[in-house]
Structure 1
Amino acid sequence: MDFKLHTLFPVDLEKEWNGLLAQSITHVPFLRFEYLQNWWQTRGGGEWPSDARLVIITAHKDDHLVGIAPLFHSQHDGKSALLFLGSIEISDYLDFIVRPGDLSTFIEGLLAFLTAHPDIPQWDMLDLYNLLDSSPSLDQLQQSVTAMGWSVTTAVTNHAPVINLPGDWEEYLASLDKKQRHELRRKIRRLEEAEVSSKWYIVEDENSLDEEIDHFLALMSQDPEKEAFLTEEMVTAMSGAIKTAFAQGYLQLSFLEIDGQKAAAYFNFNYDHHLWIYNSGLNRDFYSYSPGWVLLGYLLRWANENGRTKFDFMRGDEDYKYRFGAKDRFVHRVTISRQ
């Protein structure tokens, strides 16, 4: 494999990048070229300083792109570190972009390249966040790093619950605990039979997208923690992620309206036959109608009826995720130090 350092996003490789991702060990929207490029423009909504440096490593074999290490350099935990682009807070799953059959050769070559190339910033730590427990990178890194005599530690950092969908709404409901099934049906029926008008919809009109983004961010801001999270840089990052996903055809921005007012919203990625549940907002004036639960129920019905195979709640172990039938997975942090 021939390795190359990129200190700017290699726009000429965008199509190949996303094509390789579709065959990669971890196929998630957070690794798409356009998502990471948008993330980098604000350094993750201000999570990282402006002097962080791009360190994208590509590998080619016979003039074909076969591996990508989407990395950047910054100070982290008091050390000079290389991290995955997308780290840490707003990109739920990260990994190397490489086919399973090329993984071992790619990792071994990458580690040697990171050590030898003179233009790569000096680093003390390779700190890799948000690797799914299903990623073969976990075992391969352990093997390759140990063989080099370096130090490697792996730690679970978060829950990542997911629902495997049967493809049928009634079958999905039957899979739930009896109490939860009754509760979900009751809340949906209560709203639909109430003396208020209600509807839900998915945003499809590009001309209304800016306005709908504003509505979504306003709903998010009704939660004090999310209001603090939504700094100016974070608003820019999230708005960019929404517009990028819309342009590429994998945005699902949905709203529930009650009496003509926005009552709940979900920003999801509708990608690779999965729904990736990214963020949400609620109008406190309508809490008595449980708008978040009702809209989530509508989205689950939509996903089952439209051939989606997974409903991925992503990071976080909030109780409601399990009440909707999610099963646990975990994400890991791998820390590598040269000795």
Structure 2
Amino acid sequence: MDVSVETPGPGLFLDEWDALARTSPSGVFGTAEWHAAVQKAYGDRGRAAVAAFREHDRLLGVAPFRFGSRPLIHDATLLGMGEGGYGLGDYAGILAAPGREGDVADAVVSWLAASAGWDLLDLQQLPPGRLTKALLESIRRAGLRSLVRRHNICHVIELPSTWAEYRSRLSPGARDWLERKPRKAERELGATIELIEPDRLIEEYRTMRRFQAQRFGGQPPERESKLAAVISAWLPVAYERNWLRMFRLRSGSRTIGVLLGYEYEDAFYFHSAAFESLGEGAKYSLGASLLAAALHYSIDHGLERFDMLRGHYDYKVRLGSEKRYNYRVMVFRDSLMGRGIEAALHIRTILKGKRPWRTELEGPLDVEAGSDDSDRSARAPEHLATSPVGVE
């Protein structure tokens, strides 16, 4: 298998890359466009390199990385994550053609092992599936010391073909919240739902961020600035590619709620949402109106999955979702360094009460029950508001 390394930019084998993303569990977060948007904001955080793996000129795999530095250490991280332990992308952007996951994983690990410029390899938000399993096996065969643990819970709803069938799966309380609450907002507030027009995407995204800040508090200015740069680059491109599905909830001329999502291949990706939590809107379950609109849209358009992405909230369970785990893997070029970091991480996880790191995967790599670092206090549906994009 041949490997070429390129710098992200316009025209970077976009059609071939997109074809791989459409067969990947990473979905829209595996696209070249998502990585280019993140690079717009984080291009100063290290050297970006996209490794393309081909066989007889056919693209079989893509591995987008950033090589940078932390105090006393050089690291390699996934390009679509930005920086930090939580990352911007909800799924990792390493891609492989179906049936060739093992070959691509071996090629990725061999390329990284031969590449200078890293002591620590940090793979975040690896989705469950054949490629993640193959990467873990390739790392082990290469003799590299590594640690792995469940990173976050994602909730996914497998959608039926009709709304009637979907609602029949729900409890009476969930049906009431998803149907009666929106009707109340429509009746008493004159609330209406519409897709946001392209010239108002950034403005309404800022409205959503303002609602989130009112409810959860703001982010540090530098982080907010980086996030704004990513979104300003991403939303127009996602709209142009016909992936963006951004809903606005209005009362008269006033925006009282915004939901950010994407339609990609056979799935709807629910990225983030927020609504008015002060004043008149605080008396209504506006989150129900936003989610009901997105779910109706997904079923009406024949989509197969409604992916609610990261974050473990009670309302996601009530809506009939299944838990799926993402994984985080740390790989060390030097075994002695790995042992030292492993000891430090062990102490840190004990002090913080988090799931411990392990040298081997605990249990099968698939849909499992349990808890992980993304578990938060369960909230009733009335308090629906996802965390800001990329912020735990």
TM-score norm. by structure 1 comes to 0.89
Which residue does the alignment assign to 1:312? 307
What is the 5 A alignment of 1:190-269? 190-194=184-188, 196-203=189-196, 205-226=197-218, 228=220, 231-269=224-262
Change (3 A) 1:294 1:8: closer
Say which of 64, 68, 75 aligns to 2:58: 64
Note the alpha carbon deviations across 1:54-110, whole angstroms, 9 max, x for none: 121111211222211111112358632211111242210114211132222222222
Question: Aligned partners of 2:269, 2:241: CA distance in 1, in Å?
Answer: 15
Which residue does the alignment assign to 1:111? 109
Question: Aligned partners of 1:180, 1:77: CA distance in 2, in Å?
Answer: 48
Which residue does the alignment assign to 2:33? 34
Note the alpha carbon deviations across 1:215-261, whole angstroms, 9 max, x for none: 33433443343555862221121222211211111001101112331
Say which of 256, 277, 283 aligns to 2:276: 283
Give yes or no for contact 1:129–1:334 (8 Å, CA) kept in 2: yes
Change (3 A) 1:77 1:190: farther
Which residue does the alignment assign to 2:126? 131
Q: In structure 1, what residue type is equivalent to 2:316?
A: K
Question: Aligned partners of 1:160, 1:199: CA distance in 2, in Å?
Answer: 29
Question: Aligned partners of 2:69, 2:298: CA distance in 1, in Å?
Answer: 41
Say which of 142, 163, 166 aligns to 2:160: 166
SS where residue 258 of structure 2 aligns? strand
Note the alpha carbon deviations across 1:252-308, whole angstroms, 9 max, x for none: 110111233111110101111211111112112202121111221122122212211
Matched, 1:330 2:325: yes
Deviation at 1:331, TM superposition (A): 0.7
What is the 5 A alignment of 1:75-154? 75-76=69-70, 79-87=73-81, 88-116=86-114, 120-133=115-128, 135-154=129-148
**For structure 2, which runs of at least 5 residues remain unmatched after alignment?**
336-392
Q: In structure 2, what residue type is equivalent to 1:34?
A: E
Change (3 A) 1:256 1:227: farther
Question: Aligned partners of 2:120, 2:331: CA distance in 1, in Å?
Answer: 6
Deviation at 1:178, TM superposition (A): 2.0
Which residue does the alignment assign to 1:46? none
Q: In structure 2, what residue type is equivalent to 1:323?
A: R
Give yes or no for contact 2:18–2:31 (8 Å, CA) kept in 1: yes
Question: How much is the aligned-residue C-alpha RMSD, in angstroms?
Answer: 2.2
Note the alpha carbon deviations across 1:182-238, whole angstroms, 9 max, x for none: 2333312322332x32211012x3344444344334334433435558622211212
**For structure 1, which runs of at least 5 residues remain unmatched after alignment?**
44-48
Deviation at 1:311, TM superposition (A): 1.1
SS where residue 13 of structure 2 aligns? helix
**Identity across the alignment (%):** 23
TM-score norm. by structure 2 comes to 0.77
Matched, 1:179 2:170: no
SS where residue 294 of structure 2 aligns? helix
Change (3 A) 1:76 1:309: farther
Change (3 A) 1:60 1:84: same
Deviation at 1:324, TM superposition (A): 1.7
Which residue does the alignment assign to 2:17? 17
Question: Aligned partners of 1:226, 1:273: CA distance in 2, in Å?
Answer: 34
Question: Aligned partners of 1:307, 1:275: CA distance in 2, in Å?
Answer: 10
